[in-house]
Amino acid sequence: MGQRVYSSRLLGRDESLVFHGGGNTSVKISQKNIFGEDEALLYVKGSGWDLATIEAAGFSPCRMAHLLRLAGLAELSDLRMAAELKGCMTNPSAPAPSVEAILHAVLPARFVDHTHADAFISVTNTPGGAERVREVYGDRVVVVPYVMPGFKLARAFAELFPRESSARTIGVALLSHGLISFGDTAEESYVRMIELVAMAEEYLDRRKAWTVDWPAAAGRPRPIRAELAAFRRDLSAAMGAPAILRAQDDARSLGFIGRPDVGLISQQGPATPDHVIRTKRVPMIGRNLAAYRRDYEAYFGACEERSNPRPVALDPAPRVILDPEWGVVVVGRTARDASIAADLYRHTIDIIVRSTALGGWRALPAQDIFDCEYWDLEQAKLRRTGPAPAFAGEVALVTGAASGIGRACVDALLERGAAVVGLDVNADIARMLARPDFLGLPCDLTREADVAAALEAAARAFGGLDMLVLNAGIFPKGSPIGELGSDTWRTIMAVNLDANFVMLRECHPLLKVAPRGGRVVVIGSKNVPAPGPGAAAYSASKAAVNQLARVAALEWGADRIRINTLHPNMVFDTALWTREILESRARHYGMSVEAYRTNNVLRVEVTSRDVAALAAELCGPLFAKTTGAQIPVDGGNERVI
């Protein structure tokens, strides 16, 4: 199993072979059952696991005897097959086995590897692709005509492989689908896979169809964030839920869109059946959602007439948009979905261009694509889908996000399913989190050019903005008014007031087209209702921002934007409150540090996470009818009360 995990990861980390959950591997192992008898098991990659990071727990143990008996059946629906696969597992807590488990069981080798190598797909997805595959491999592989993944493919393979294989056979070519290699050891199977892929690459290279040179991408001519956000609103309406958009204007994207034949080669279908669900049937060219919907419904209707029972219709919204100015725009219900679609279509572009250079790109027929998109296993998954996270498909932006309350707000919004953009003057924000639903951008909020660039990057990364948390601010050393310097006053006002004014103004065009309405949370201060001596500049700046928020709530209500303010106090788990400062303040009041931490009416400690949780809730449905509110998060302050 250790070798199986190791070589699976080798395959999974090479994106030209496998990407984002695709591909499949297995190993046959003999283990003793509860009766002490040796039992042959197939450990096959389980549903939901990615080969690049798979662990032993990601493989599902299935009884070989049951799998081989299933392979001998004349008919079996895929839904019943999935039930049988789960039923023959020796560990019910393991993930659901791959639908290709039967196929792997039939292969007479201990290790089996299955990839969707770019080079192989480029060869097979052409007119005469089967002949080209035979020209590349000869008798090294058994060629299997395209069959829908699932039991039908396993059954066809079980009949064909014994008849067509020979002593020289090291793999299987599933036309328009992928490559399979096998061996008695993990190394043998892996090396054979690399050999088969290299043969396809060399074939393409000999015919000047391997190397793809893209012209250098020109500079971005103008900001597009407002247009992207408005388009996202309309697309979200077509999907029936908020969507994440990712705009890519790199050399590959713009070079592909700029091809004179893009209208032909982009409209034939996805590279493999595995791509259908993520990227849908074909990309939309341009921004005409109504035309795409009409085309999709006509396609759906024509294929549906031949389907029984009637499938659950998926939303008629594109997952890939080709726009000459925006570039390739990918769509997902979450940032992860959009990221996967982006990677898939990046590979698809290379495959299409190589196939075209080889002799012409040809995808699967429309009916086969329809059958994949409305596969009964996918339909069952749709029917089982539970409620999405509260902020799925929505985008939040947090200022001052690298630490303290800002960092806690990032975590709280991510936990609720939002894609989050974090801004901070600290450059470490760019490396704070490595995940597809977070974008950290270094940004000096006092520089309007930095703010504009950050909002443009946020819109290109996620499509728009739904929630804004204004948290960034500075708290200077205490100073009486008579000793407060003008430069200090202006610096505090620039960060705490002016920067928030600019953020509100620049974010308004994005917030007013948020699919569910825009939301703003201002992190204020106890000093607004109850200022203290020595904090004139800080108190005045926070009070001014509070008034700004109240006016914005009045002005923007018609735009479905709600704006509320939180007033925290004595939040000690921030960089501001060092141990030395805490001890000093506690001594000043004649208290222990522990007593000082809970020096409020409720005698509780207020943390960054407490403030962040309420900030996130203010953006949720519980406060859907609240705007202009000011809410303390301070454990109860006698002066405020």
Distance CA 61, CA 83 (A): 14
d(CA 515, CA 38): 58
Residue 168 token pair: 């020289």
120/367: higher pLDDT: 120
pLDDT confidence of residue 229: 98
Residues with catalytic function: 538
> What is the DSSP-derived secondary structure letter of residue 497?
I
Pick the residue with more confidence: 445 or 308?
445
Looking at the chain, the whole-number percentage of residues with pLDDT higher than 70 is: 95
pLDDT (0 to 100) of residue 286: 93
The overall average pLDDT reported for the chain is: 92
CATH superfamily, with its number, for domain 395-571+607-630? NAD(P)-binding Rossmann-like Domain (3.40.50.720)
Does 136 have pLDDT greater than 80?
yes
Residue 367 pLDDT class (50, 70, 90 cuts): confident
Say whether 141 sits in a helix, a strand or coil: strand
415 has which bridge partners? Answer: none
- Residue range 78-98: mean pLDDT, rounded: 93
Question: 523-539, pLDDT tens digit by residue?
Answer: 999 999 999 888 899 99
Is the dihedral angle over the CA atoms 135, 141, 144, 146 positive or is it negative? negative
Q: What is the mean pLDDT of residues 566-583?
A: 86
C-alpha span between 549 and 551 (Å, rounded): 5
Residue-level pLDDT at 532: 86
Asked whether the predicted pLDDT for residue 275 surpasses 80, the reply is no
pLDDT at 365: 80
pLDDT at 476 over 60: yes
**15-19, 204-208, 408-412, 507-511: which range is least confident on average?**
15-19
- pLDDT at 280 (0 to 100): 74
pLDDT at 105 over 90: yes
Model confidence pLDDT, tens digit, residues 159-198: 999 999 999 999 999 999 999 999 999 999 999 999 999 9
Distance, in Å, from the CA atom of 573 to the CA atom of 568, rounded to the nearest integer, reads 12
Q: How many Å apart are CA 413 and CA 409, to the nearest integer? A: 6
Among the CATH numbers 3.40.50.300, 1.10.3720.10, 3.40.225.10, 3.40.50.720, which is that of 2-206?
3.40.225.10
Region 126-144: mean pLDDT is 95
Residue 546 has pLDDT above 90, yes or no: yes
Residue 309 has pLDDT above 60, yes or no: no
For residues 376 and 401, the answer to whether their CB atoms sit within 8 Å is no
Token pair, residue 405, equals 């309350």
Q: How confident is the model at residue 37 (pLDDT cuts 50, 70, 90)?
A: very high
For 428-537, list the strands marked E by DSSP: 438-442, 467-470, 519-523
Averaged over 322-346, what is the pLDDT?
93
Band of pLDDT at residue 150, cut at 50, 70 and 90: confident
* More confident call, 311 vs 55: 55
What's the whole-model pTM score? 0.91
* Whole-angstrom distance, CA of residue 496 vs CA of residue 541: 6
> Can you give the pLDDT at residue 19?
73
The domain limits of the chain are 2-206, 225-384, 395-571+607-630, 572-605
**Topology, domain 225-384:** L-fuculose-1-phosphate Aldolase (3.40.225)
The three-state secondary structure class of 322 is strand
